[in-house]
Structure 1
Amino acid sequence: AFWKSPFPKNVLLLKILFFFQCGLLLGSIALPKPPQSPLLEKVKKEEKKIPVWIEGRIISSEITVDGSKAVAETLAYYDSEKKIFDNIRIIAYLPIEPPEPLSTFKGCFFLSLPKTKTNPGQFDYRKSLTQKGIYLSGELKDKALYTTLNENLLSKFLNKYRNYLRSQIIEKCGRERGIVLALLLGERGILDEADEFSLIRSGLFHLIALSGLHIGIIILILYFVLNSFKINPFLTDGIVLAFLPIYMLIVKDQPSIIRAAVMALVFITARIAARQSGSFISLIISFAFLLCFNPLQIYDAGFQLTFLATLGIISLYNSRLSIFKESTLGDYIFKLFWIGLSAQIFTFPVLIYSFQRVSPLSFFATPLASLFLFPLLAFGVIFILGGSLIPFFNSFLLVVVKYMAKCFLLVPLYFSKLSFSSLFFPKPHYLYAIIFSLCLILIVFFKDKKKQYLSASILIIFAFSSYFFPDPFNRINKDFLITLDVGQGNSALLHSRGRNYLIDCADTSYHSVPTSRSIIEPFLSSLKIKKLDGIFISHWDKDHCGSLKEIVRDIKTDFVAFAKCPSPPSDIIDFLSKRNVRFMSLNRGDNLDIGGVHISIIHPECNFDNSLSENDLSLVFSIALDKKTIIATGDIEKLGEKEIVESETLLNSADILLVPHHGAKNSLYAPFIQKVSPKIALFSAGRNNRFNHPNPAVLDYYKSINSKIFRTDKDGAVLIVFDKDAIKTFKYSDFPWDDLLFE
């Protein structure tokens, strides 16, 4: 043995604590302090993106739909004519092919702070980047404003070879080029949106992140090939050890592939050193080793999932049931499913708290998809390691890879259509996570089968309880309206007497995580909401209804209401019918009484000679909540507002107005606003949006009639609480008010 343990045998918990503390201690010493950067201070002072000429070095890069994305480190920037030396990392978006890592450059970037958390439950992107040492976001508007100054020879060679591999895949893999690039090189920038959707809903999205599964499959393939030639075991281990760093240099340096490679290197080293029970110790050493470089990554969900999944497989593998005869086909298949189930059990709490969902069938779907992933990676690795350079043979390899990719995609396509492929979870109380973790520890450490089964039974009971009773200690007893910051779109939640109504559900994403997944559903999960009593859609633009299907798929919804004209898209009606969701088309004069809330439809008046635009046919309605009145207006503009005023429709003053069309100048019709005369005007608009919403003239007008103004681009999500006769307002930009609603 290469190392003698200071611990008594079988004291695994002490070993875990020891290495964990060592990793955190060493990591805290090496942890870099926030940079004293004049460039960072300069950007902080500005509200908008500012153009800055910078010189820097590319750390890593990858292809995207619009060009590339890179992590860069500045060396200096220019303030007027003055060159100021500076060192800070930025995440950069460029309209060019991925620049070579380690190359130096000069370019003009529009810099800003990364987007921070502005809604309850939302992922904090700025905090995540800060933990990785990245403090700024930059956008290159024109490729003419970027010049490469110097290139590292090794990096230049690797980048040219990577570009060659990428061009071959894009040219010869057709529609499957996105998934092949993701599976072989770790580049997900041009992944087809339909494929991405099915992978997410089926719970198989983790398969396209180069991770432990890929490294494990590649190592198995290498061992199989090398053992077929009866090569000495020590030499075989040495070849595999040498291969992993080479593979890491060629593919994109994702954190997941680095974690997996480190774990594999430690596992193989332990195997060479003939360590007994090396799996646990190797996992712990890998865990501590990575923490030494950055202990903050312990907060990263990907880091947690990697180690918990591996720990689950190691811990539960020998506890599997003996259903089939050893070494039979049935036994091998059952082992695959058991491995998937073990990983899913241990990662269950992280999936719920970080992603608000679990995929109950992923333990079954993962082994099925892996049947195609094995040959895909086998031929793909040959392609990467030189097969791409052999004429005709490279085409043959990519034909096989493309076919396997097509078969691989059939699995998520099928599972994504099943009802329980993805289960939305309201965020449970943290007590559930503690009990769940204790049950897992008892299952692992108990040797008595009866005690293991008892712990497993308690675990299952609390897992179900966390869904049906997410927070048994706190309740929401207040009525409120929340306008979310969804960017250049609209989405608001009305909560009254225990019922929840969504007013619009925008999707403002662009080749990124859908707004439903990034903002709306995490928000609903944070409020422990797993059912919507209704959704009101103002009109059929994506920035008002784009998340409708996704939300209805994930969350039980009683009804969807919309304007009678224009007619809703046929696919929406078909979708709602298949989901058995009641839908209502509303017209001027209609009234709804639902759960103590009275809703009056103000607009539109649908008739055959109606020539208004789709915006001007937005659903406009008033909500009477006790003695408070809210008016929602969608994207109605001047002509629609004028038609309402001239129709002599009863239009009373309102306490709260969801301002028309995000505050556009052509939505300001003074007679309409004067009639409504809102005490509070809520503007839903995207930060630094290209439409200049809300328009300064519109803001000035609302100020002139003494309306209190709130705007999501400045204030983040806005909470309005109806407290007896009083109306209380809170901005998320002032402080996170997540817990104010619970008693």
Structure 2
Amino acid sequence: MQIFEFKKYPALFAVIPLIAGILVSYIIEAKIPFTASLSALLLQSILFIAIIYFISKTSYINTRYYFILFITIFLFGFIRFQFFYNNFDESSIVNYIEDSKDTEVKVYGKLIEHPDIDEGRIKLLIETDSIKYFNKVISVNCNLTASIYKNKFKEFPPQKIGYGDLIELKGNVQKLPHKRNPGEFDYGQYLKLHGIDAMFTSYGFENIKLIEHNEHSFIKQHILFPVKEYSIKTIDSLIGGEEGEFLKGLVLGERSNISKEIKQDFVNAGVSHIIAVSGLNVAYLTIVLMLILQLFPIKYIYKIIIVFLFLIFYMNLTGNVPSIVRATVMASIFLLSQILERKTNSFNVISVAAIIILIIDPRQLFDAGFILSFWAIISIVLIYPKLHKIASGMKFYQKIGNDPYKGRIIKGVIALFLGTLAAQIGTLPITALMFKKISIVSLITNLFAIPLSNAALGLGFALIIFSLFYTPLAVLTANVTMFILHYLLVSFNYFSNFSFSFLETYSIDYLFLVLFYIAVIVLFFIPQMKTAARLIIVVLLILNYFVINDLIHSTDKVRFAYLDVGNSGTCLISTPGNKNVLIGCGASSVKYTSAERNIIPYLKLQGINKIDVLLITSLSKNEFRNLEFLVKNFQVSRIYIPSYYRSVFNAEHKIFKDCEMKFIENSFVIKNDMMRLFVFHEPAVTTGKSMFVNVQYGNESFIFSDAVEVYDDNYYQTITPRDVTILKAPGAGSFNNISAESLLMTNPKYIVISSLDKKKKRLNSDIFVSSLRSLGYNVIETGDKGAIIFDTDGERTEIVDW
């Protein structure tokens, strides 16, 4: 039997080159002008239609025609992705961001999503029309995400605005953020792949001005919006609380008000998929509608059309989220096959759904939901029959069949377990790579989560319908639904709090993904191979992974990683002997903790489970909050800090009881093989609040002058070598903290400065940077580049491209 039978799987034949074209286009980042992309797309479409027409009219097709068709589809995917992702549209707002940097501008546009409003912030998604800056109004075309924060010193209620309204915003436009550190979620890339070109920030709700209320289409104005608002109001009044928010997530995909703690419980318990409006909702709706329509004497084709129209309605009701669009496309293909009386093929249905979605928006190929949902379905189609065959051959399974009622229930549970297992096997390495975490308890939790959430979903639809006709029945349905939802929430919390409920997978890489799928193929898809031989191959693959991984990561160099954690500089020094020194612990705010978001994830990504030495050169209130989080959630052996802060740590001694605290009175040296850490602390010179660090490895020298408040230049000259390799300037750089004479004396090869957002301080930083660059210094900013990483062997230091 051939692996690919093209006539049997035509959609599969088409989706492979389409995906390949999109991937190649993404990887090579070709820059094709907008008009050229549009012209090429039209030509490709004409050629594609011509080839398909020719093939349909020809009885014998030469292989070369399939090859031409393959290349045509590949080029279509390549150019289609460029059209959405990398095209150069002269009217894009991206072309004006640098010119308007730090300048207050006015943006005019239309709301293309309902505002996300909470007490302190309004979040908007806008299709821009024009921008006004420097008294010039310029037509621009892009999608922009805007965050307008409440002005704490001015009471101004937000204007009532909604989807489709034309508005004016006053504030600052920013380019999409870069990836800050290795292994972190790339938010800027995420926004770009979802069609957003820039960001906008403003402080004060008075900076939102309504220009014109837009009249929506009849369907949206009088059907979609009222139905959604009524459904939300009904759920809030009859259920409410966390259970109500859970149900709104199930039925309508409204998850914005589900608490962070409950979302984390869902993730740790491996059941986050049940609050994503997806195939489950569509399948439920299709089945219920078909059952209801069986009561009416109408032709089967009309029933199919009615179900299809309801699915389109539900897709729009839930906001056209990608997961529901994918499920609707798949269901529509299945319904169409019923009309045409064609036997459906799983691979063709999946492939056609993927083709339609990728033609509409090829950026969906890189969406986590797209990847996981399609891969889960493929895994169930391919792996579930193999698992079921294995289970069917077991004696206990065969004995179950003797009991017609109990056996059916047990077999149903086993089928659910095997289906979940098949999906988990197929998606495990992808989940591990994307989310750095896999749930261990998900096989158990899904056994009750899936059927009970199915029941809650059906009851949710029912109580909304019953509330229209008979309130007592709606109340009864709501009580039953609330009981189920409450039980699920309590259960998820219980399972998520097990110490073994999930496994962090920061060490998983693409090598693991490749070897994992080779192992799956060996275990399930080579029937002629004996079981013992399969197991031996899998064991060898596992051993090879560890050997290759060790070879890849083995090094005789010291790494200096200057992490992007905001204005508070942090550098991780890792030695060949697996000793790790952290200089600075980052800062935090009420809503953001760099230890949680940046430092600890980077440490885990590097396979580091302990900080041997933590040097705190100085400490502010925000840095202390960050230090607390770091010590509570990561092993730190020893902390060095100026004795000036001793009283603070005495008050918080319980938090640091597992750390060896060293309160520094005078300068000292830490030795580790070829590396020397010279820590200078002279209270008479630095006011006692800060320390100065000079790390020497071989002939290379690395200076950390962060936050040293007062320098005596003569003293500075006595403690610093000439021709240093890297100077970490204080904060984001300023001549107020380090003198020009000191810089000239050290003559650093590189100067590293941290990122900064505050305008006034950034002005000083910009002056500092431009002055040094004019003198020929190599200044690198974490705010522009993200983390800056160097490797050194003691003789030569090189920048690592991550």
TM-score range, shorter chain: 0.7 to 0.9
Relative to structure 1, the CA distance from residue 361 to residue 9 in structure 2 (aligned partners, 3 Å threshold; closer, same or farther) is: same
Alignment deviations for residues 597-623 of structure 1 (CA, whole Å, 9 cap, x no partner): 455665699xxxxxx9xxx86777654
For residue 105 of structure 2, the aligned residue among 52, 58, 71 is 52
Task: Give the whole-Å Cα distance in 2 for the aligned partners of 1:274 and 1:618.
Answer: 79
Measure how far apart 1:683 and its partner are. Answer: 2.8
**2:650 matches 1:565:** no
**2:6 matches 1:16:** no
Tell me which residue corresponds to 2:189.
127
Task: Give the whole-Å Cα distance in 2 for the aligned partners of 1:591 and 1:356.
Answer: 38
Tell me which residue corresponds to 1:138.
200
Measure how far apart 1:152 and its partner are. Answer: 0.7
Question: Contact between 2:247 and 2:457, CA under 8 Å: does it hold in 1?
Answer: no
What letter is aligned with 1:565? R
1:610-621 superposed matches below 5 A: none
1:208-247 superposed matches below 5 A: 208-216=275-283, 240-247=307-314
Tell me the secondary structure at the aligned position of residue 134 of structure 1. coil
Tell me the secondary structure at the aligned position of residue 113 of structure 2. strand
**2:497 matches 1:417:** yes
Task: Give the root-mean-square deviation of aligned CA atoms.
Answer: 4.9
The structure with the largest helix share of the pair is: 2
Question: Contact between 2:93 and 2:140, CA under 8 Å: does it hold in 1?
Answer: no
Task: Give the whole-Å Cα distance in 1 for the aligned partners of 2:532 and 2:334.
Answer: 30
The normalised TM-score by structure 1 is 0.77
Tell me the secondary structure at the aligned position of residue 587 of structure 1. strand
Tell me the secondary structure at the aligned position of residue 364 of structure 2. helix
Tell me which residue corresponds to 2:379.
312
What letter is aligned with 1:60? E
1:59-138 superposed matches below 5 A: 59-61=112-114, 63=116, 65=118, 66-78=120-132, 83-94=137-148, 100-108=162-170, 110-138=172-200
For residue 586 of structure 1, the aligned residue among 662, 665, 671 is 662
Tell me which residue corresponds to 1:162.
228
What letter is aligned with 1:89? N
Task: Give the whole-Å Cα distance in 1 for the aligned partners of 2:284 and 2:531.
Answer: 31
Tell me which residue corresponds to 2:415.
335
1:277-356 superposed matches below 5 A: 278-320=345-387, 321-322=391-392, 324=397, 325=400, 327-356=407-436
Measure how far apart 1:431 and its partner are. Answer: 4.4
Question: Contact between 1:61 and 1:68, CA under 8 Å: does it hold in 2?
Answer: no
Tell me which residue corresponds to 2:789.
719
Question: Contact between 1:442 and 1:455, CA under 8 Å: does it hold in 2?
Answer: yes
Measure how far apart 1:289 and its partner are. Answer: 1.8
Task: Give the whole-Å Cα distance in 1 for the aligned partners of 2:631 and 2:547.
Answer: 19
Measure how far apart 1:422 and its partner are. Answer: 3.4
For residue 536 of structure 1, the aligned residue among 594, 614, 617 is 614
Question: Contact between 1:40 and 1:135, CA under 8 Å: does it hold in 2?
Answer: yes
Relative to structure 1, the CA distance from residue 348 to residue 203 in structure 2 (aligned partners, 3 Å threshold; closer, same or farther) is: same
Tell me which residue corresponds to 2:737.
668
Relative to structure 1, the CA distance from residue 447 to residue 385 in structure 2 (aligned partners, 3 Å threshold; closer, same or farther) is: farther
Relative to structure 1, the CA distance from residue 593 to residue 8 in structure 2 (aligned partners, 3 Å threshold; closer, same or farther) is: closer
Tell me which residue corresponds to 1:733.
none
Tell me which residue corresponds to 2:262.
195
Tell me which residue corresponds to 2:68.
none
Tell me the secondary structure at the aligned position of residue 199 of structure 1. helix
The normalised TM-score by structure 2 is 0.72
Measure how far apart 1:361 and its partner are. Answer: 3.2
**2:91 matches 1:38:** yes
1:428-439 superposed matches below 5 A: 430-439=510-519
Task: Give the whole-Å Cα distance in 2 for the aligned partners of 1:151 and 1:79.
Answer: 29
Relative to structure 1, the CA distance from residue 586 to residue 44 in structure 2 (aligned partners, 3 Å threshold; closer, same or farther) is: same
Measure how far apart 1:147 and its partner are. Answer: 0.8
What letter is aligned with 1:146? K
Measure how far apart 1:308 and its partner are. Answer: 0.6
Task: Give the whole-Å Cα distance in 1 for the aligned partners of 2:285 and 2:586.
Answer: 42
Tell me which residue corresponds to 2:58.
none
Measure how far apart 1:404 and its partner are. Answer: 4.0
Relative to structure 1, the CA distance from residue 697 to residue 277 in structure 2 (aligned partners, 3 Å threshold; closer, same or farther) is: closer
Tell me which residue corresponds to 2:801.
737
Question: Contact between 1:663 and 1:693, CA under 8 Å: does it hold in 2?
Answer: no
**2:440 matches 1:360:** yes
Question: Kindly, what percent of the aligned residue pairs are identical?
Answer: 20
Alignment deviations for residues 472-506 of structure 1 (CA, whole Å, 9 cap, x no partner): 44643321211122334443221222423444554
**Which range is displaced more, 246-255 or 27-36?**
27-36
Work out which structure has the larger RCO, using CA pairs closer than 8 Å and 6 or more positions apart in sequence. 1
Relative to structure 1, the CA distance from residue 264 to residue 583 in structure 2 (aligned partners, 3 Å threshold; closer, same or farther) is: farther
Measure how far apart 1:530 and its partner are. Answer: 4.8
Question: Contact between 1:587 and 1:601, CA under 8 Å: does it hold in 2?
Answer: no
Alignment deviations for residues 311-358 of structure 1 (CA, whole Å, 9 cap, x no partner): 111212222223542544333233222222211211123223333343
Tell me the secondary structure at the aligned position of residue 477 of structure 1. coil
**Which range is displaced more, 305-314 or 220-229?**
220-229
Tell me which residue corresponds to 1:3.
none
What letter is aligned with 1:186? G
Relative to structure 1, the CA distance from residue 572 to residue 417 in structure 2 (aligned partners, 3 Å threshold; closer, same or farther) is: farther
Task: Give the whole-Å Cα distance in 2 for the aligned partners of 1:550 and 1:422.
Answer: 21
Alignment deviations for residues 432-470 of structure 1 (CA, whole Å, 9 cap, x no partner): 43343344445564455x557855774576468646853
Instruction: Please say which structure displays the higher CA radius of gyration.
Output: 2
Question: Contact between 1:357 and 1:422, CA under 8 Å: does it hold in 2?
Answer: yes
Question: Contact between 1:491 and 1:506, CA under 8 Å: does it hold in 2?
Answer: yes
Relative to structure 1, the CA distance from residue 596 to residue 220 in structure 2 (aligned partners, 3 Å threshold; closer, same or farther) is: farther
For residue 559 of structure 2, the aligned residue among 459, 473, 480 is 480
Tell me the secondary structure at the aligned position of residue 48 of structure 1. coil
Relative to structure 1, the CA distance from residue 393 to residue 478 in structure 2 (aligned partners, 3 Å threshold; closer, same or farther) is: farther
Relative to structure 1, the CA distance from residue 669 to residue 109 in structure 2 (aligned partners, 3 Å threshold; closer, same or farther) is: closer
Relative to structure 1, the CA distance from residue 49 to residue 447 in structure 2 (aligned partners, 3 Å threshold; closer, same or farther) is: farther
Alignment deviations for residues 27-84 of structure 1 (CA, whole Å, 9 cap, x no partner): 5565536252335254343373544333323323453544443432223334566654
Task: Give the whole-Å Cα distance in 2 for the aligned partners of 1:649 and 1:454.
Answer: 68
For residue 571 of structure 2, the aligned residue among 474, 487, 492 is 492
Question: Contact between 1:442 and 1:452, CA under 8 Å: does it hold in 2?
Answer: no
What letter is aligned with 2:792? F
Measure how far apart 1:155 and its partner are. Answer: 2.9
1:434-583 superposed matches below 5 A: 434-441=514-521, 445-447=525-527, 455=534, 458-459=537-538, 462=541, 466=545, 470=549, 472-473=551-552, 475-499=554-578, 500-504=580-584, 506=586, 519-520=598-599, 523=602, 528-534=606-612, 536=614, 538=616, 539=619, 546=626, 557=635, 559=637, 561=639, 563=641, 565-566=646-647, 583=659
The alignment of Structure 1 onto Structure 2 pairs a total of residues equal to 701
Question: Contact between 1:516 and 1:551, CA under 8 Å: does it hold in 2?
Answer: no
The gaps in structure 2 that reach 5 residues or longer are: 22-72, 150-157, 402-406
Task: Give the whole-Å Cα distance in 2 for the aligned partners of 1:219 and 1:451.
Answer: 44
What letter is aligned with 2:565? V
**Which range is displaced more, 476-485 or 58-67?**
58-67
Tell me which residue corresponds to 2:326.
259
Tell me the secondary structure at the aligned position of residue 145 of structure 2. strand
Tell me which residue corresponds to 1:741.
none
Tell me the secondary structure at the aligned position of residue 561 of structure 1. strand
The gaps in structure 1 that reach 5 residues or longer are: 1-5, 606-611, 731-735, 739-743
